[in-house]
Homo-oligomer: A and B are copies of this chain.
Amino acid sequence: MKKRIVLLPGDGIGKEVIDSAKDVLSAIAEEFNHSFSFDTHEIGGAAIDQYGTPLPETTVEACTQADAVLLGAVGGPKWDNNPSHLRPERGLLGIRKALDLYANLRPIKGFKNLLHASPLKEEVVSGSDLLIVRELTGGLYFGTPSERRDNGNAVVDTLSYSRSEIERIVDKGFQAAQQRRGLLTSVDKANVLESSKLWREIVEEKKAQYPDVAVEHVLVDAAAMKLITNPTQFDVIVTENLFGDILSDEASVLTGSLGMLPSASLREDGVGLYEPVHGSAPDIAGKGVANPVAMILSTALMLRYSFKLDDEAKVIEDAVQSVLDAGFHTADLQVADGRLVGTFEMTKLIVDYI
C-alpha cells in the first residue's frame, strides 16, 4: 500500500513525538511492505513565527492532497497574548474545518500497570473502556454571529447545527457502538437547549436503523458526574462539539494515562487527522523526555481508520503494551520497579518490537 502522510509537528513536544511517529511508521512499512511518504509542514505557533499565520495556505494544500495527517501539538506561552487570529489554536480549528473532519474519536482505556496513577480508586476505574465521539466542526465553535455588540457592551456566540451535521455524527456513534459493546450514550442538554432537542430527536429517529445498539440519553451535567462515579458504565458517548471538548478532557484523566491517549478526527471518506490528546507541554519541550506513546498510538488509529490496516495497527498497540509490560516508562509515569527512559529510547523499544 502506498500512502502520502503529512506531518504537522506544531509546537513544544509536538516536534519530538512526531519523529517517533515517523520511526514507527517506517518500521511498519518495512515489515509489511508498504510505502509511506512523509511531507512536513508548519502549523500553530511555529507557523506564526515563520509565516505570520497559524495555518499557512501551503499547509492546507498539502493536507488536502494527503491520505492522512499526523499532528504533534500546538500552543505555548509565547503566543498566549496574541490576538485571536494569531493564536496557535486557530490553526487547529482551521485545519479541522478545512478538511471537514467532523468526527473526533477518543478511545479511553486504562493500562493495568498505570491504573495506580489514577485519581480514582482502583475499584471505581478498573475495567473502564470507553470511546468519546465528539462532533468537531459545528456548534458554538463555528456558529455566526460571534461578535461584540452595543459598542462592546454585549457579546453573542451562536450554537448552530444543521440536521445533516447532527445525523452524520450520530451515525458515527451508532456504528462505533456496533463495533464495540453495543451501548450508545447520547449526551445533550435537551431540558434547556433547542439544539439538544433536535439532537435527541435525531438519535431517536436513527435507533431503528441500529437495532443491535442500546441507546440512552444523559444530560451533560449528569454525564460529568457519572464519568467519575461510574466510568465503567459507558461504552460509546456521542455528543456535540463543546460538550465533547469538556467531557473528553474530563474522561482523559480518569485512568492515569493522559500521556498515552490518542485521538482521530475523521472526514466521511476516511481521510483523517491524528493527534495525541495531551498538549504541547512547553515546560519539557526539547529535553527528549516527552512520552511518545500517545502519538504512536495515534498512528495506529491512522492505520486502522484511514488505511484499513487493522493488523498493522494491532502490531503497534501490542508493541506499546509489551514495552510497558516490561516496565519501561517515560518520566510522566510512575511505575514501581520500572525503567525510566527518554523519548528516543521508548520509541526505539517499540520499533524493535515491531
Contact = CB atoms under 8 A, between A and B. Distances in A.
Nearest to A242: B189
A97 to B, nearest CB: 12
Contacts of A162: 150, 153-154
B246 A221 contact: yes
A141 B192 contact: yes
Contact of A245 (B221, B229, B245): B221
Interface string A156-175: 11111111100000000000
Contacts of A155: 160-161, 163, 194-195, 197-198
A120 interface: yes
B89 A191 contact: yes
A86 interface: no
* Interface residue range, chain A: 35 or more
A121 interface: yes
A248 B224 CA distance: 9
A41 B243 CA distance: 35
Contacts of A163: 152-155
A84 B229 contact: no
A249 B229 contact: no
B159 A157 contact: yes
Contact of A161 (B121, B140, B154, B221): B154
B195 A224 contact: no
A163 B149 CA distance: 10
Interface string A201-242: 000000000000000000011101101110000000000001
A191 B87 contact: yes
Contacts of A242: 189
Contacts of A89: 191-192
A222 B248 CA distance: 10
A160 B150 CA distance: 12
Nearest to A142: B192
A118 B123 CA distance: 12
Interface stretch (A8-16, A103-111, A250-258, A283-291): A250-258
A351 interface: no
Nearest to A201: B152
Contact of A157 (B120, B195, B222): B195
Contacts of A227: 250
The 3 closest A-B pairs by CB, nearest first: A221-B249, A224-B250, A157-B159
Interface of A: 84, 87, 89, 93, 118-121, 124, 140-141, 143, 146-148, 150, 152-164, 189, 191-195, 197-198, 220-222, 224-225, 227-229, 242-243, 245-250, 252-254
13 contacts: A119-B229, A141-B192, A150-B162, A153-B162, A153-B163, A154-B163, A155-B160, A155-B161, A155-B194, A157-B193, A158-B159, A220-B246, A221-B249
